[in-house]
Amino acid sequence: MPEEVVNAVQAHREQRRKVIRIKKEIKATRASKEYWHMVGQAKLRDAKIAQLKVKRSKLAARINEMQPTGWQEFLQVPYFIIIVYTIYV
């Protein structure tokens, strides 16, 4: 192999080692740990929001199913009162 290629490969390896070392140093800092903690909290919050949206939609569907039946029963009560009133009066 030509000497330039060997030197380029060695320089590339050295640069990769430097990058890895610097990444480790950055990762060890308190600010980095706080940042990743905040990222994790944001992901948890987004997951909980998604769960609550699903729960809300299920509850809304249940309420919408119950409303028509409850409303019809409510309308029958005054009708029944009128019938009873007319019978006894």
CA-nearest of 69, 45, 77 to 37 is 45
Q: What is the pLDDT of residues 30-44, one digit of tens each?
A: 999 999 999 999 999
User: 2 to each of 8, 43, 54, how far by Cα in Å?
Assistant: 10, 51, 64
DSSP 29: S
Mean pLDDT, to the nearest integer, of 61-88?
Answer: 73
Q: Which two tokens stand for residue 23?
A: 């990444």
**Which residues make Cβ contacts (< 8 Å) with residue 32, sequence separation at least 6?**
26
Count of domains for the chain:
1
Q: What range does the domain containing 70 cover?
A: 3-88
Q: What are the tens digits of pLDDT across the range 3-58?
A: 999 999 999 999 999 999 999 999 999 999 999 999 999 999 999 999 999 999 99
**In this predicted structure, what is the pLDDT of residue 44?**
98
Q: How far apart are CA 19 and CA 25, in angstroms?
A: 10
Do 26 and 32 form a contact (C-beta atoms < 8 A)?
yes
Which pLDDT band, with edges at 50, 70 and 90, does 65 fall under? confident
Task: Flag whether pLDDT at 87 surpasses 80.
Answer: no
The predicted pLDDT at position 67 comes to 64
